[in-house]
A and B are shown apart, each in its own frame.
Chain A
Amino acid sequence: MFDDLNETSISIYSVGDLNAYIRALLESNENLIDIWVSGEVSNLSQPRSGHIYFTLKDENAQVRCVIWRVHAVRLAGVLRDGMMIEAHGTVGVYEEGGQYQLYVDGMRAAGEGQFYQEFLRLKDALTREGLFDEERKRSIAKMPGVIGIVTSATGAALHDMLNTFRGRYPLAEVILSPATVQGDAAPEQIVDAIVRLNKYVKPDVIIVGRGGGSLEDLWAFNDERVVRAVAASKAPVISGVGHETDFTLTDFAADLRAPTPTGAAVAAVPDTMELADDLRGRQTLIEQLIRARLYDLHTTMLEMTMRMDHVSPESNIRQHMQKLDNASMRLNYIQEKFFGYHRKVLDVAFEKLSGYDPRYILQRGYSIVEDEKGNLVTSTKQVQLGVGIRAWIMDGVISADVTGIENKKVRKNGKEK
């Protein structure tokens, strides 16, 4: 019976060797790397080390699972005992315990995978149909008068949006078209709310939104009916569904995708603070314009005044006056020149003449003698003894009688003998 045992060809493993061998075998198997395993979470524990341990089980079987601390940080808080999940990871062996286990590095709620498959299928179909084409996107009015909102009347999303409008743009009018935004009734109600807004209100823009939630909570916004209603809406649609990271088919069909309901409200309206700034800028501009205009007109008027002045009768008169002045000045000049010359000639003549004036001779001590009849006496022959004569001197006349006559001997050549 023990013969077989004596055979040297039979190898005997140590436990450690066995486990190491099993580990190498399992961890090198491609079918056990990067796999998804679905099941219910139980025996969940997270000791101080920070790693998470739990068991994944279904009706008939169970497997130990470990989430190392690096991943645990990201996944902690999500897991609960009894939760149905799909865990992603790699199979490995814990040699000391002789246990194979699943090293989990990611997970999602059970059914999410199927949801995702359906999401991709519908997205693909609607994309091919052209429902998400960029050309279909309409521009959103900058200052909407009436904003339609499709969301729950009781949700936080409505509150957030109304607060945003009050803070940013209270000029608008908001009409809520209420709809349940999760659960089986949601798609139908959302579609109806969009249709009614377009029919009765004709708003400038419609916001379709709801706050964050699980993928299941947001599922209505991936419903084909909702997506088609958004695409068919007459008024442009802004979607604001869930959180930043959530993308729904409604987002693709909408004319504008906002990350959240609040984001959608911000995208729908301008900020009145900016509008007020803008107004102040325009006020300054318009004042500058009118000032420039007035300045231009003033300049033009000055120019025209100058031109008018140039062609006015007064200017003509002034021109003529200037001509006259000019002529008069020239005349004066000529006059000065002409008369000045002649005055000089006259002065000279006058001086010469003065030499011949009898009074001039008298001043020099000579006298003029005339007879009784007033004839000038220039010769002794004109008088006889005893007759009266009158002698003119510088300051008067002397009457006298001739008491002697003496003839001067005059030589023939006129010189005294």
Chain B
Amino acid sequence: MAKKNNPITVLNYEQAQTALEEVITALENDPVNLEASVALFEKGKELIKHCQVLLDTAELKVRQLGADGSILPLDE
């Protein structure tokens, strides 16, 4: 299986969690061969790592909606 351009890192937390859920379900449902299992396992580990990175580096983005629909920085 050719490695795609590592799409995991572009997922947001919810998407990554959903993907992780799918991986676990697939692993629980007895995949047919070892290669698939190991690939799923690797993917799961990557997803977990990605989620952890997201949690560790997250910083709340706060902006303000202008009257004309423009989105501006917010002075707190």
Contacts and interface: CB of A to CB of B under 8 A. Distances in A.
Interface of A: 142-143, 145, 148, 153, 159, 162, 165-166, 169-178, 193, 196-197, 199-201, 272, 275-276, 279, 282-283, 285-286, 289-290, 293-294, 297
- Give 6 nearest A-B pairs by CB, closest first: A200-B69, A170-B58, A290-B41, A289-B27, A173-B61, A143-B14
Interface size class of B (residues with CB under 8 A): 35 or more
Interface of B: 12-14, 17, 20, 23-24, 27-28, 30-31, 34, 37-38, 41, 44-45, 48, 51-52, 54-55, 58-65, 67, 69, 71, 74, 76
B24 A171 contact: no
Given A171-B54, A293-B37, A286 B48 contact: yes
A143 B13 contact: yes
Contacts of A193: 65
A279 B61 CA distance: 23
| Most chain A CB inside 10 Å of its own CB: which residue of B12, B24, B31, B41 | B41
B37 to A, nearest CB: 5
25 contacts: A170-B58, A170-B59, A171-B55, A172-B60, A173-B60, A173-B62, A178-B65, A193-B65, A196-B69, A199-B69, A272-B58, A275-B51, A275-B55, A279-B52, A283-B45, A283-B48, A286-B27, A289-B24, A289-B27, A289-B41, A290-B27, A290-B38, A293-B27, A293-B41, A297-B34
B28 to A, nearest CB: 6
Contacts of A176: 62-65, 74
Interface of B is mostly: helix
A175 B41 contact: no
A3 to B, nearest CB: 91
Contact of A162 (B31, B65, B76): B76
A244 B5 CA distance: 50
Contacts of B44: 282, 286
Nearest to B61: A173
Contact of A200 (B12, B37, B41, B65): B65
A162 B13 CA distance: 20
Contact of B48 (A169, A272, A279): A279
Contact of B13 (A165, A171, A175, A289): A171
A323 to B, nearest CB: 39
